[in-house]
Amino acid sequence: MPRMRARPSAAVGYTDRAHAGRVLARHLEDLDLVDPAVLGLARGGVPVAAEVARALGVRLRVCVARKIGAPGQPELALGAVTAHGPPGYDERLVASFGLGEEELERLCERERAEALRREQRYNRGAPPRLSGRDAVLVDDGLATGATARAAIGMLRTFGPRRVVLAVPVGSPESVGALREEADVVVCVVQPVGFSAVGQWYRDFSATSEEEIAEILAELGEEPGGGPSEGARS
């Protein structure tokens, strides 16, 4: 049975994603990670994951999962998909929109193509080396958990020893559901009455492509360049 490590609280907030990452890193210290590989979910999870990678002294890789938006309501996630691996859907939502298989596949493949484009940009097309390693998937928070679920499914295809999902804040319902997907779930704060990830950050401004490029120049692979020095893969 997958383990969940969580420290619920109703009075914890973060200055920004970097602060959240430093707090999260401390909550990973007792996991006895084996040859950890840190992956930040693009885009907001990357600055959080950067602090985890720094604390562990490892390289950072970007993981891309794209929401499959409902027709006319792109912010409503019918599910999510990655560049590799199967999509995941909220079957009840899909049924409520009466979407046929062909239309659903069209929406899915559009987002998969964008996920692939971004993966190639961030990671230069190289597949992750996860066999026998602990894959630590980091995001800035869990609302529905759709993108995290899709990303976990993709990481499983690369044969990791364990998949550890680590977030600074999350919906208790989503954290509970993802216990069945990840081997370990670390969620620092599970607020009662959770409504949005951004409520738990003083600064929740969008993460830019430039910010990701700067982070990868230090800790990962700079888009269009080679692996950075000073961090082990």
| Confidence at residue 207, expressed as pLDDT on a 0 to 100 scale | 96
Q: Which CATH architecture has domain 67-120?
A: 2-Layer Sandwich (3.30)
Q: DSSP characters for 203-218?
A: --PPPPHHHHHHHHHH
Residue with tokens 């993108």: 147
Residue 182's contacts (CB-CB under 8 Å, 6 or more residues apart) are: 2, 137, 152, 163, 164, 165
**Looking at domain 3-65+125-219, does it have CATH number 3.40.50.2020?**
yes
Q: Tell me whether domains 3-65+125-219 and 67-120 share a fold.
A: no
Helix axes 209-219, 45-56, angle to 10 degrees: 10
| Confidence at residue 133, expressed as pLDDT on a 0 to 100 scale | 97
Q: How many CB atoms lie within 10 A of CB 169?
A: 29
Residue boundaries of the structural domains of the chain: 3-65+125-219, 67-120
Does residue 45 contact residue 78 with C-beta atoms inside 8 Å? no
| Confidence at residue 12, expressed as pLDDT on a 0 to 100 scale | 55
Per-position pLDDT tens, the chain of length 233: 444 444 434 345 899 999 999 999 999 999 999 999 999 999 999 999 999 999 999 999 999 999 998 888 877 888 899 988 788 888 888 888 888 888 899 999 999 999 999 988 898 767 889 999 999 999 999 998 989 999 999 999 999 999 999 999 999 999 999 999 999 999 999 998 898 999 999 999 999 999 999 999 999 743 433 334 334 44
Does residue 185 contact residue 6 with C-beta atoms inside 8 Å? yes
Does residue 180 contact residue 206 with C-beta atoms inside 8 Å? no
